Amino acid sequence: MAALFQIAMRSLRRHLRRYLFVLVVLALGFAFISVMSALAAGMARSAENAALRHYAGHLFVIGRDKQAGSIMVVDHPRQVTDAIARSGLPVQRLLTRTHAFDRSSLFFHGASVRLKDLFGVDFADEAFLFSGFDYIEGGFDPGWDRETVVISEPVARRLRARVGDQIVLRVQTRGGQLDTRTLVVRAITADSSIFGFARAYMHRETLTNLMELAPAQWSVAGIFLPSVHDAPSWARRLEAELAGELPTAGPIETKDALTSAIRERWQGVRYFSVSLPVYVSEVTDLLAAMELASWLLLVMIMLVVLAATVVTYRVVLHDRAREIGTMLAVGFPRPWVVAALAAEAAILVGIAVTAGLLIAAGISQAASLLSFDWIPGFEIFLEEGRLRAWYRPATVLRNAAVVLGVVGTVLCVMVVSTVHRTIPALIKGETT
Amino acid sequence: MNMTMQKCAPSGGPSRTPMTVAFLAALVVLLLPAPAAASQARDLERLRRADAAWSYLDSDFSAEYHIVQDVPGRGRSTTVAAVFRRDRQDIYTIVILEPEADRGQGYLKQGDTLWIYDPVGARFNVTSSRERFQNTNARNSDFTQSTLAEDYRIVGVTPTQLGRHAAYLYDLESDRDGVTFPIMRAWITDDGRILKTEDFSRSGQLMRTTAIPDYQQVAGRLIPQRIFIIDALEGAMIDGRFVNERTIITVTRPSFQPVPNSVFSKSFLERIRR
């Protein structure tokens, strides 16, 4: 085996000029495939992280009171947490938040911003999320007081507010009345994605009080699971568990189903069990479309690489026909010759894959130096305004296996086909 | 007190004078609330008269509203709207006539539901009566009947002077769901004209001030002619000074003539577009 490898290496070195084109085509092709996969995975991870930070969980239980303008409120927090415990969910963390949704506005020196999301949070409980934010001004402090408000950069820009400014929050109570509170800007987050466009965080108890909810009530329970992929099936399980105790909206599998469920009329509070993929289905759909597009692109690149490799390798085999014929004529067994040539091809593809990976890493690094936050709506796929490639070992191995498998198989077939020609034909230089 | 009673009760003679005093005192205490109750009734009646000046329960009402919105640093914009009200059924229709860009937009209120019609997409969307009307400082709820006496409880009434008008300053509070401003101060004349109101949040933050300097007499009724609304929170810093956003509404061509039923329908707003 070692002898075979040595002969293959020697032969490769001897015919390096002939193999150079195959090597370059394969390396560039694999680099392109790797970059595409890693960027797609990195964008998906950025979007998932942004969604996780925003919604704080993979799975949610939300209460909505239709009579109070569909305000989010969990009137029976104990029953909800009991149902979560009974459902057997692999809960990694459970966070509860008060959510004023779009029933709130911020005012500063006459400027105003109607918030899309105003979250009342326990900063100490959510330290792991808040320490992951990118802050333009100020920084995370788990001991932030009850007058704290953390606003996103677009909100700060529109209010022309900075850290330390006192701003007025106006909130609609559960009964539909207006209440106000002066808050102090403690930090400004850099998130200018669709999530952060009109978002603010404040102390949960302060918001709960402003919305005239009972101290024990909250709006949403966010559950962190080991993986987002299982969230939809766990949502069904939790929905079934909740339905035994409380009025629920039924299983919700899509964003459209959620929208129509919210539009229904009901009395009192109804409970919704929703998974993160449903909440961010637009992003999920976009990522699925991107993944499909990247797969199609990968197939096309693969075909191009394969065609270029086959044509070039055919020329290489043709050039080496006499050498192969001579080896057979002096007594080398055909299987041994096939094995020697196949080893050459395998080493060739292996070198190409390694080189391709190094090229891909260089391209990814270069891409991460460029800013893409000028593309509207693209921020959600960026980390700190930059594209971040994610080289998942499983994906790299899969891509390498595909290239090795497809190209290697085709080259081996060509080798076998050539070696099994007659010796006189090979010595005459006939390979086809 | 108990000792005196024990002493007085058996004999009756020498303690007659204290008993009489006690009886008279009790009588005074019993009779005292009467003037207070009468005063409260008058205050409530005045508030109801104020509601009546803004509510037209016995006939339809239509008028053209010229709404000038003054945003500091951004200039003025004018909106003209045709308003049709049928307060007895709690419905109204508003059609935007100007500016040209918004022409054909409409509002249809039927009970608790308020639709806004967008002629560009030919779509109705549900909106809230608490929302700002056409991005002015007026709210959609400002175009419907007044229900102060129903919504608020009177915390205090103080006779006062507002400019050249003698008025009563009403301190009002409300816990009712759906009442946007839980605290309100209203300056009301004895004949029920609301001269000015201040709306506050639950925490006592002034949210907006409304002044109605002029009323007009139409078909024997007083209806507002000009309404000034000053937003306490919206505005801009101009030369280091806070200048509030303000809206002036002028009510022209008021009429109490019957309005066809068809006006209070979605199809009316759709037809207007065509």
pLDDT band (50, 70, 90) for residue B3: very low
pLDDT band at A290 (very low <50, low <70, confident <90, very high): confident
Do the bridges between strand A178-189 and strand A148-152 make them parallel or antiparallel, or are there none, so unpaired?
parallel
Q: ∠ CA(B258), CA(B260), CA(B264), 5° rounding?
A: 115
CB burial class (10 A; 0-12, 13-18, 19+) of residue A220?
buried
- Structural fold of domain B42-273: outer membrane lipoprotein receptor (LolB), chain A (2.50.20)
Nearest to A177 among B179, B236, B244 (CB): B179
- Are residues A402 and A296 part of one domain? yes
Residue B12 confidence (pLDDT)? 40
Q: Quick one: pLDDT band at residue B32, thresholds 50, 70, 90? A: low
pLDDT band at B19 (very low <50, low <70, confident <90, very high): low
Q: Do B244 and A110 touch (CB under 8 A)?
A: yes
Tell me if A110 and B179 make a contact (CB, 8 A cut-off).
no
Q: Cα-flanking dihedrals φ and ψ of residue A426, to 5°?
A: -65, -45
* pLDDT level of residue B30 (50, 70, 90 thresholds): low
CB A320 within 8 A of CB A327: no
Taking 70 as the threshold, does the pLDDT of residue B2 lie above it? Answer: no
How crowded is residue A139: how many other Cβ atoms within 10 Å of its Cβ?
Answer: 11
Are A31 and A106 in a shared domain? no
Same domain, A394 and A319: yes
Last residue of some domain: A202, A232, A257? A202
Interfacial residues of A (vs B; Cβ cutoff 8 Å): 68-69, 107, 109-112, 168, 170, 172-173, 175-181
The first and second tokens of residue B216, run together, are: 């007009």
Determine the Cα–Cα distance for residues B267 and B264; give it in Å rounded to an integer: 9
| Sequence letter at residue B13 | G
pLDDT, average across residues B41-49? 89
Of B128, B201, B243, the CB nearest to A170: B201
Contact A181 B203 (CB under 8 A): yes
Contact B233 A170 (CB under 8 A): yes
Q: What is the percent of chain B with per-residue pLDDT over 70, rounded to a whole number?
A: 86
The pLDDT confidence band at residue A37, using thresholds 50, 70 and 90, is confident
Mean pLDDT score of chain A: 87
CB contact under 8 A, A109 and B236: yes
Does A322 map to a domain? yes
Domain end point (choices A202, A232, A264): A202
Query: Does a structural domain hold residue A241?
Result: no
> By the 8 A CB rule, do A343 and A352 touch?
no
Contact A177 B181 (CB under 8 A): yes
Q: What is the CATH number of the domain that holds A152?
A: 2.40.40
Write the DSSP assignment of B249-261 as a string of letters: EEEEEEE-SPPPG
Residue B177 has pLDDT above 80, yes or no: yes
Main-chain phi, psi angles of A255, to 5 degrees: -65, -40
Exposed e or buried b per residue across A13-47, where buried means at least 16 C-beta atoms within 10 angstroms of its C-beta:
eebeebbebbbebbbbbbbbbbbbbbbbbbbbbbb
pLDDT, tens digit, for every residue of B208-224? 999 999 899 888 888 89
If pLDDT is split at 50, 70 and 90, which confidence band does A192 have? low
Residue to mutate among B233, B241, B246, with most A CBs inside 10 A, is: B233
| pLDDT above 80 (res B5) | no
pLDDT band at B16 (very low <50, low <70, confident <90, very high): low
Asked if residue A414 lies in contact with residue A401, where contact means CB atoms within 8 angstroms, the answer is no
Q: Looking at chain B, which runs of residues are DSSP E strands?
A: 61-71, 75-86, 91-98, 106-110, 113-118, 123-127, 153-162, 165-173, 183-188, 194-200, 206-218, 221-238, 241-255
Q: How far is A172 from chain B (nearest CA, A)?
A: 8
DSSP string for residues in B191-213: TS-EEEEEEE-TT--EEEEEEEE
Name the pLDDT band for B21 (thresholds 50, 70, 90): low
Q: Provide the pLDDT for residue A112.
A: 92
Count of domains forming chain A: 2
Contact list in B for residue A112 (CB cut-off 8 A) is 233-234
Are A158 and A21 found together in one domain?
no
Q: Is the pLDDT of residue A26 over 60?
A: yes
Taking only the tens place, the pLDDT of each residue in A215-242 is 999 999 999 999 888 899 999 999 999 9
Determine the pLDDT at residue A383. Answer: 76
Report yes or no on A254 lying in a domain.
no
Instruction: Tell me: pLDDT of A95 over 50.
Output: yes
- pLDDT of A380 reads 75
pLDDT band at B134 (very low <50, low <70, confident <90, very high): confident
Three-state DSSP state, B220: coil
Mind telling me how many Å the CA of B133 is from chain A's nearest CA? Answer: 15
Q: How far apart are CA B232 and CA B243, in angstroms?
A: 9
Residue B177 to residue A68, Cβ atoms within 8 A: yes
Determine the structural domain holding residue A106 and report its residue range. 101-202
| Token pair in block for residue A426 | 């090979």
Closest Cβ opposite residue A175 in set B177, B233, B244: B177
Yes or no, beta carbons of B182 and A181 under 8 Å apart = no
Nearby residues of A394 by Cβ (< 8 Å), 6 or more positions away: none
- Tell whether A134 and A44 lie within a shared domain: no
Nearest CA in chain A to B73: A110
Whether residues A29 and A122 share a domain: the answer is: no
Q: What is the dihedral of CA A243, A249, A253, A259, to 10 degrees?
A: -170
| A169 and A298 inside one domain | no
Is the pLDDT score of B252 beyond 60? yes
Going by pLDDT thresholds of 50, 70 and 90, the confidence category of residue B1 is: very low
Q: Element (H or E) spanning A105, and its range?
A: strand A104-108
User: How many contacts (CB atoms, under 8 Å) link A and B?
Assistant: 63
Look up residue A244 and give its DSSP letter. Answer: T
Cα-based distances in Å from A414 to A306, A319, A393, A432? 12, 14, 31, 10
| Mean pLDDT, range B34-62, rounded to an integer | 85
For A410: left if phi > 0, alpha if psi spans -120 to 50, otherwise beta; the answer is alpha
Could you report the predicted ipTM of this complex, rounded to two decimals?
0.77
pLDDT (0 to 100) of residue B14: 43
Q: Which residue of A has its CA nearest to B173?
A: A177
Indicate the residue of A69, A110, A172 with minimum beta-carbon distance to B237.
Answer: A110
Reported confidence tier of residue A114, pLDDT bands at 50, 70, 90? very high
Find the chain B residues whose C-beta atoms sit closer than 8 A to any C-beta of A.
72, 128, 130, 174-182, 201-203, 205, 207, 233-237, 242-245
What are the CA-CA distances from residue A221 to residues A57, A63, A67, A133, B263 (Å)? 8, 9, 21, 21, 46
Same domain membership, residue A108 and residue A25: no
Would you list the domain boundaries of chain B? 42-273
Question: Does one domain contain both A411 and A298?
Answer: yes
The fraction of chain A above a pLDDT of 70, given in percent, is 98
Q: Are residues A9 and A107 both part of a single domain?
A: no
d(CA A302, CA A318): 24
Burial of A355 (0-12, 13-18, 19+ CB in 10 A): middle
**Does residue A398 sit in the same domain as residue A298?**
yes
